Each structure stands twice: as structure tokens, then as C-alpha cells.
Chains A and B, each alone.
Chain A
Amino acid sequence: MTEKRELRVEKIRDGTVIDHITAGTALAVLRILGITGREGHIVSVLMNVPSRKLGRKDIVKIEGRELSPGEVDRIALVAPKATINIIRNFEVARKEPVKPPTTIIDVLKCQNVACITNSREPVKPIFKVEGEGENIALRCYYCGALMSREEILKQF
């Protein structure tokens, strides 16, 4: 038991730990961050582990890479309660909750097939973030269509 537990939560020396990820969305979080595993970093993914705060949660640990807040904030779209821990020499050097950005540019596609951004026009999809937490939604800047959290998740 002890051995198993240690394996699961083994501390990393330097890098980023994303904690309190909504259970079951860790892989979507990795995709949002563009982490494929081919970058060479040691990446640990823990899914559906017991959590006092959330009941169950996912955790992602990326060794040897510090993620910047701007890079990470967009994961709030799928994991609004996530916290980012920057680890240096086994210690938490910085810890902050993710803050949803106000605008999302060129990450998601508008799911409205009639939206002009789904044609060959020279523009990137832009969304304004509305609501927060579980009720977060994106409104397409161009056509005004709304995308719910579930619909956002489907794209990752």
C-alpha cells in the first residue's frame, strides 16, 4: 500500500503540477496545453484520485517545464477549479488557481457550421468567455453562437 501510494504521488524536483483538475478531464487539459508526450518531458497523469475538496480529481505533473500562467489559464475552460503549482527543488515555489481568460483566440472552432469562421476567410476563431466555473460558456465573436462547457470538452 505504502509503495503504491508513493508511486502515485511521488514528488517532482522541478516543473509544474496541475492539481484539482475536474475528474476525467486530464487528457483534455494536456491537449489544451499542446502536450503530446513527444516533447520528452516526464509527464504523469493521475485520474479519478480521491480528493477532499472535489470528491475525485485528476492531477498532471510535468517535470522539467514551468508553465506560465497565460499558457495555463485556458484550461479553466474545462477544469475551472484547477491549481497550478510551480515546483523548484522539490518545493512549491508558486501556487495559483487558474483564471479563465476573457478571450480565446485560435484554440477552438465555432461549432456553428454556418459561421463565417468555418469558411476560407483569413480570420482566426475568437470567443468571448461568459459565465464562470461549471457554467462557463464561450460566445463566438463573429456569429454570437454559444458553446457550453460540455461542447468545449468535445473539441479536446
Chain B
Amino acid sequence: MEFKGRDIISIRDFTREEIDYILRTAERIERMEASGEPLNLLSGKFLGIIFFEPSTRTRLSFEAAMKRMGGGVIGFGEPEMSSVKKGETLADTIRVVENYVDALVLRHPMEGSARLAADFARIPVINAGSGAEEHPTQALLDLYTIHKEKGRIDGLEIGVLGDLRYGRTVHSLAYALANYEVTLHLISPPELRMRREVLLDIEGKIRVEQAERVEEVIPRLDVLYVTRIQKERFPDPAEYERVRGAYKVDGGLLAKAKPDLIVMHPLPRVDEIAPEVDQTPHAVYFRQVRYGLITRMALLGLVMGAL
């Protein structure tokens, strides 16, 4: 399967076969990492990381992934300090930075930004978050986490809890899961229901059930994916105040869950998962970070033709 030169913009651009191939490649990388030998698959290659939104987690993950593959990293994460502040368009920024690197990772507050960047760039562009739209590498690492922790994805009952309207990770995850045989429970306050275009896309492909309270569905779930309500995405602060603290995952809730339920979270969390959950076998969100690193190593290797 050929991935060299390919952009990773939307999870919807990938078939199930391609997603499965990425997951198998991640397993290969994980085995190579475990052997202790340094990986030099991307030696001599450079990755450009350009972030127009503050982020530490995703940036660190990509930077670590590239360096662990033997490559170098350049980029910026503070557009206030750069030409962007001077009024440069994204199209121009891309056409400048692509001359320095072999692939680009982009995070941008506007939706469709990654698609635009990919159209202007001759090198592969990886979308690391385009506004509230998508975050495809997060979806791939989420699938890898489920695959590793549960041994399969097909046949699972998966609950996604929280901000389904503005949370880009859940949009990409929903699109990704639509390739598998799962039941997807969308659990959110009415104000934060899943976007219409996502629902239209996934309904008919998989079984979708909607609930307002996690208590209603917790006994049925194999996976509970919790998200933070992101204050910064709300156009209206009053709307945020109405929904903050609408749900909490704690010991009391998990007492009603299957013993092998896994709890995932894209991090950072605020107070939607109580610290007491960290010590339970349900908590996989810190291992999820490690799976993220492995998945991004696999993706970088694939698009730069090293795997």
C-alpha cells in the first residue's frame, strides 16, 4: 500500500483497509521500539511543525515522533512572532516553509485550512487540527488505542461523551469508527449534540444511539471516550456557562460499568474525569499518549516513504 507523498487531511479520505494498514504499521514500529535499537528510518529528513493555535501536547508528540525516527524538526508555534502577524496568508506561509522540509504538520483555527494547505504544498501535509472540524491523527491513535487495549474494534459498544459539537477529535473519531462494525453512543447535553454533517455521514454505516446522560448507557459500554468542554471554541460565553460541569466520570459512575470498560481521553482533562479513576484498570488515557507517539511515528514514516 503506497502512502509516500500522501496528505493526511481528513479521516474520511481513508478506507478501512488503509486505516488497518496504518494500525499494522504502528504495531511494527512498536515492536521495533521495544527492541531498544534506535530507529533511523527518517535520518536526514526534516519535519515542519507550524501551529497557529497554542498547543503543547500535539506539538510535543509530533516532535518526539520525528526525532525518535532519527529526523529533525523546525517550525513555530507562536504566530504572533511571525509573518502571520504581519498579515501573510496561510497559502503564502505554506509555500515558504515547504522549501525547508520534507513534510508539514499544521494546526490552524479555521476549518478547511489543512485542505487548503495541502493544495498549495508539494510535500505531504498532516492535519494536526483544523478549527472544530477534524483531527485525523488523533482519530488514528484512538483507534490504535482501542485495538491494542481491547484486541479488536469490531463488535464493540463505544460511548463518546462531552462536547460533540465543537470537539474536533470526536468528529474525526466518529468518521473513523464508521468504517468498523460498532455501536456508537453519542452522549452530550442537548446544546452540544453531534454536528449534522457528521451524523448524516455516519448514520446508515454504523448503529448510532444518542443519549443525554452517561448513566443511561454506562452498563453497555466497552469503551468510554471522554472529552473536555473547550471554552475557547464557544462563540457565546453564556452558552459555555450553561454546559460546564454537565458530566463527570468518577468511581460512582464506573461502579455500574463492565469490569473491562476502558476510559479514554484526548487530554488535557480539567475535571471531567475524577483523579480517583486514574488508579483503576479502566484508565487508559496516559497509555493513549504513548500509542499516539507510536501512531505518529508510523504516519511520518509512511508519508515520507520510509516504511
Q: Please list the residues of chain A having a beta carbon within 8 angstroms of any beta carbon in chain B.
A: 110, 112, 114-117, 119-123, 139-146
Contacts and interface: CB of A to CB of B under 8 A. Distances in A.
Given A114-B110, A116-B116, A121-B116, A144 B133 contact: yes
23 contacts: A112-B111, A114-B110, A114-B132, A115-B111, A116-B108, A116-B110, A117-B112, A117-B116, A119-B89, A121-B89, A121-B116, A123-B116, A141-B112, A141-B115, A142-B112, A143-B130, A143-B131, A143-B133, A144-B112, A144-B133, A144-B197, A145-B197, A146-B196
The 3 lowest CB-CB distance pairs between A and B, nearest first, are A142-B112, A143-B112, A143-B111
Q: Among B12, B89, B134, which residue has the most Cβ atoms of chain A within 10 A?
A: B89
B91 interface: yes
A140 B132 CA distance: 15
B1 interface: no
Nearest to B87: A120
Give chain A's interface secondary structure class: loop
Given A114-B110, A115-B111, A146-B197, A123 B91 contact: yes
Give chain B's interface secondary structure class: mixed
Interface of B: 10, 12, 89-91, 108-113, 115-116, 119, 130-134, 196-197, 200
A140 B112 contact: yes
A119 B197 contact: no
Contacts of A140: 112
Contact of B90 (A115, A116, A143): A116
Contacts of A144: 10, 12, 111-112, 133-134, 197
Nearest to B12: A144
Contacts of A112: 111
